[in-house]
Amino acid sequence: MLELTGCTAIGAGGYTVCTPTLCPVLQLTAPSSTQAEPSVIVAGDSLQLSGVPGQGGDTLEWFTGPYDTTPVGTGTSITVSPLNSLTYYVRTVDTSTACTSGMQAGPQVRVWPRFNPSMDGDNDVDGADTIIFQSCFSGPAAPHDGSILCQTVDFDRDDDIDQSDFGNFQKCHSGNTVAYQPDCWK
């Protein structure tokens, strides 16, 4: 595959001079040992993506989708703060030629929303929140609807909303217009 690199604009007229480089696509292999550490975080926290460049390359480019063209980071170890669960994609890059390997699926990351017992968003926990909690109730080992709203009261992080979660939720009851206490569910 022929890629144009090292292009330089000449003058205001827009002439561009490029140095053609023959990218040895088949000689650049996909990265290995890619991982996310940790692979489960709470929204707002950071994690580290790392991996080993494949043959023919010296660094990695990381993406949030298989067809993305702009990397979220470049390096064998980068720090990211994703807000939603996702799979990262990664490819080997040869810095000197800008040639790359094919894209491959990298680590999967799970991002939990922060706990928030004030489900209607007004900072108190009262009867109005209990009604919303009940709409998330799924029972033991039965998955809730998967919404961010229900995840914010899945206090034991097991993807159901059951009596166990309700126990934590009740600890946060503060009453109408009274702000709930930080970490009240603990």
Interacting residues toward Ca ion by CB under 5 A: 118, 120, 122, 124, 129, 154, 156, 158, 160, 165
Angstrom distance (rounded) from CA 92 to CA 103? 8
Tokens representing 75?
A: 């390096």
Query: Residue type at 56?
Result: G
Helix (H, G, I), strand (E, B) or coil at 59: strand
**Minimum CB distance to Ca ion smaller for 45 or for 158:** 158
Find out whether 103 and 91 touch, Cβ atoms under 8 Å: yes
Q: How far is the CB of 33 from Ca ion (least distance, A)?
A: 33
Q: How far is the CB of 20 from Ca ion (least distance, A)?
A: 58
**Minimum CB distance to Ca ion smaller for 145 or for 158:** 158
Q: How far is the CB of 184 from Ca ion (least distance, A)?
A: 13
Longest dimension (CA), the chain: 71
**Minimum CB distance to Ca ion smaller for 58 or for 120:** 120
Query: Residue type at 23?
Result: C
**Minimum CB distance to Ca ion smaller for 101 or for 118:** 118
Q: How far is the CB of 47 from Ca ion (least distance, A)?
A: 23
